[in-house]
């Protein structure tokens, strides 16, 4: 993966996160920070995958970095740092894999064919990858939030 691909992923991560920032009513002043969190998320995930990491591991690392950065940088603002973490991590969700899983399950309802077992296997594999990736993103986001709460209690 080259620099152009990394810049492509970073740009579209920023666009997607800014769009979700609008949906979450974060305010015009925070849209730039929403875009920065999405750009950071996809930059980290893309860099990790270029090093040979799996989608799940790279998504965990990206969510951990984005949530950690959100709690470090935005802990003093009027907007909750969790908002920036969630908005930045939404572009990490593997939509193409989710649609592949659903289309595979829908294909099983069609006329029975010889390849039904292969369709089922592909659909289950895609579903598991989506579930584990979403779990990894959630775990990566929860660790800095829990650490920030623990630090606030001390």
pLDDT in tens, 54-92: 999 999 999 999 999 998 887 566 778 889 999 999 999
Global pTM? Answer: 0.89
pLDDT at 80: 83
Burial grade of 143 (CB within 10 A; 0-12, 13-18, 19 or more): middle
The residue range of the domain holding 95 is 3-153
The residue ranges of the chain whose pLDDT is under 70 are 1, 75-77, 152, 154
Cβ(14)–Cβ(35) under 8 Å?
A: yes
As a 3-state breakdown, the chain gives helix, strand, coil percent values, each rounded to 5, of: 80, 0, 20
Cβ(152)–Cβ(81) under 8 Å?
A: no
Look at the chain and report how many structural domains it folds into. 1
pLDDT at 67: 95
């Amino acid at each position: 993966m080259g620099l152009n691909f990394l810049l492509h992923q970073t740009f579209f991560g920023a666009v997607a996160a800014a769009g979700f920032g609008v949906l979450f009513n974060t305010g015009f002043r925070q849209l730039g920070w929403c875009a920065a969190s999405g750009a950071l998320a996809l930059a980290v995930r893309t860099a990790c995958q270029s090093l040979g990491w799996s989608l799940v591991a790279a998504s965990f690392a990206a969510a951990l970095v984005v949530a950690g950065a959100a709690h470090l940088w935005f802990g003093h603002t009027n907007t909750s740092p969790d908002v920036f973490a969630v908005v930045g991590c939404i572009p990490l969700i593997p939509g193409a894999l989710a649609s592949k899983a659903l289309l595979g399950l829908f294909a099983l309802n069609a006329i029975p064919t010889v390849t039904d077992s292969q369709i089922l296997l592909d659909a289950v594999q895609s579903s598991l990858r989506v579930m584990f990736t979403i779990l990894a993103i959630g775990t990566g986001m929860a660790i800095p939030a829990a650490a920030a709460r623990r630090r606030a209690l001390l």
